[in-house]
Structure 1
């Protein structure tokens, strides 16, 4: 209902952990179990759409929260699950429980713990026939401390990894969309400059589109789609890619809860070809919201995911065409009209994007 193009299927432990026993019993992969084997599976540890509970990491284990509560993973327990899921790409167990306020002692422990866990995961990975064709990613930790990040990279860069996750900048959840590039730029740029150029670089979290463009410019290759989910949960529809002359959408998103959409029988975006915009109106979405019908969130999620995927198509096309800076300026202007915290546009060249 969203796209016919292949995308990475992002799978997180908290949202799928309760399926583990059934997957093992049927002796199948996660992709086969959910009938999505045509997609490349990417397994992450935490769900970037939800705030990670801080302070529960231990010397040799990581905590995640499912619907049934806290679950503690050692490297052995985690790799047992990985071998059951058989993802194409997965993140080695790590301690990413740091942010801009974390102390030097805390980020140092995160790096040490992540080293220990990666060593254990990698050892099992290299000796597993099930995982010999799969890719394992290492997480670069260290919070906002550049020296500690260097220590983490020095350990990771020569390991047989498929790529790296630039981790430890936040604790996931909706608040990540409010983090500006200026806050993270020095750390991300320093990190990427030290990483091998022939391996993928991933950044998880619901970054707003302006920050996504800046991270692409810095060299990040892969992002997740938690941002459209967060916007959907707020009963809002993304419009930052809309053409103002056609849609009169001068903001980056609209709230279907607002009274002004009660009698608005136009789609969210007149040029959007998603299922929601092709078949339904703002007035109908407004009605669904106020009657608390689940269909309202379903339609918003279809639109927002489609809109976000179109954003990345535009990014890739602009890189090929040499028009990335124009796209960056266009999106920034849409956001800056209602968000004064975004800094002025800085002109430079983009280097890569997934």
Structure 2
């Protein structure tokens, strides 16, 4: 993997970059749609590609449980298995494992129960790395402990020691030269712990770095502080990935603070509940006001949904419980996010990111949520 820093915004810390992987280039800042089980919910790979997606995510924990990394490897790897020939990033499964209600966190990893069979399963840094090697994504993530919020300083301090020890094991276990392994900075909302964790990971010389342990209930103001605490200690010549973020305002605030890559299930999850993002805020299309609304979801959008269908049609689909409602809405929401980060890239190149962010959010918040 190669990262090129193309342009820095003159008045903010926003960056314009390019990540080159075996399966193609990624223009940053970028939003990465999430396909947890090797599929974006309600969307085909062709539809995902048409939105302009440059890279997608899948999840180690879920793919390990089913169908298993061995089967995916026999199928020719994750790209071939899901018929996606662009870059893929696999999360290590740390967030999912630590979100489980019944698990045992040990010094060497985590013990938990299979969500279907009930069988006890162990996942540690070496195991998570081996699984990701077999899956064959372009970017793999180190196995870390995702610290809950709120957390005490004492717990978070002990946790990052574990994360750093596990990061070293991940590096030693990583066996694919065609796959980049990113380290993950933890430390909850504590400035000293974020700094210490970042500096220790940078000393290990990963090809890229992620900021983890956010979007766990801390809110936007603390999210901004966590990024501010961490970003100064991340190398300029390597990509920076803010994990699990988020809403449009979260992403733009984080781009302003020097982050390059973002992922979240929000676009497809909100689509399934009839919530669609537009340049003037969010719409809830099950509301009766849209029954006779023959405008596109967002007249400013160029996606397949907005080019062909009206709000009234989507309102009908949701009320009729048609699967197509989730598909069309997911296409639109993913495209909205990708258009937003494309606008951010253009603004950084022109040296006007602060103005772009201000105008985007002013319009986005102009009509509230309906």
Superimposed CA distance per residue, residues 166-205 of structure 1 (whole angstroms, 9 cap, x where no aligned partner): 112343xxx67xx22x222232112110111111110012
Q: 1:106 to 1:334 in 2, by over 3 A?
A: farther
**Selected match of 1:318 from 330, 342, 347:** 347
CA drift at 1:66: 7.6
- Aligned partners of 2:112, 2:345: CA distance in 1, in Å? 34
Q: 1:51 to 1:140 in 2, by over 3 A?
A: closer
Mean CA deviation greater in 17-26 or 60-69: 60-69
Superimposed CA distance per residue, residues 130-189 of structure 1 (whole angstroms, 9 cap, x where no aligned partner): x02211111111101111222212321121311111112343xxx67xx22x22223211
Report if aligned partners of 1:42, 1:90 keep a CA contact under 8 Å in 2.
Answer: yes
Count residues in correspondence: 318
Question: How do residues 1-354 of structure 1 correspond to structure 2 at under 5 angstroms?
Answer: 1-4=47-50, 5=52, 7-17=54-64, 18-21=66-69, 23=71, 26=74, 28-36=76-84, 38-46=85-93, 52-53=99-100, 56=103, 57-62=105-110, 68=116, 71-99=121-149, 101-125=150-174, 128=175, 131-171=176-216, 179-180=219-220, 182-240=221-279, 251-337=280-366
Superimposed CA distance per residue, residues 284-321 of structure 1 (whole angstroms, 9 cap, x where no aligned partner): 11111112111111110011111111111111011111
Q: 1:6 to 1:274 in 2, by over 3 A?
A: closer
CA drift at 1:281: 1.5
Report if aligned partners of 1:232, 1:297 keep a CA contact under 8 Å in 2.
Answer: yes
- Aligned partners of 2:283, 2:94: CA distance in 1, in Å? 25
Mean CA deviation greater in 159-168 or 63-72: 63-72
- Structure 2 segments unaligned to the other structure (5+ residues): 1-46
Task: Calculate the TM-score normalised by the size of structure 1.
Answer: 0.81
Q: 1:236 to 1:221 in 2, by over 3 A?
A: same
SS at match of 1:19: coil
Report if aligned partners of 1:27, 1:84 keep a CA contact under 8 Å in 2.
Answer: no
Greater share of strand:
2
CA drift at 1:24: 5.0
Report the aligned-residue RMSD: 2.7
Q: Flag the structure with more relative contact order, 1 or 2, with Cα contacts below 8 A and sequence separation at least 6.
A: 2
Report if aligned partners of 1:93, 1:118 keep a CA contact under 8 Å in 2.
Answer: yes
Q: 1:47 to 1:234 in 2, by over 3 A?
A: farther
SS at match of 2:178: coil
Report if aligned partners of 1:48, 1:204 keep a CA contact under 8 Å in 2.
Answer: no
CA drift at 1:50: 12
- Structure 1 segments unaligned to the other structure (5+ residues): 241-250, 341-354
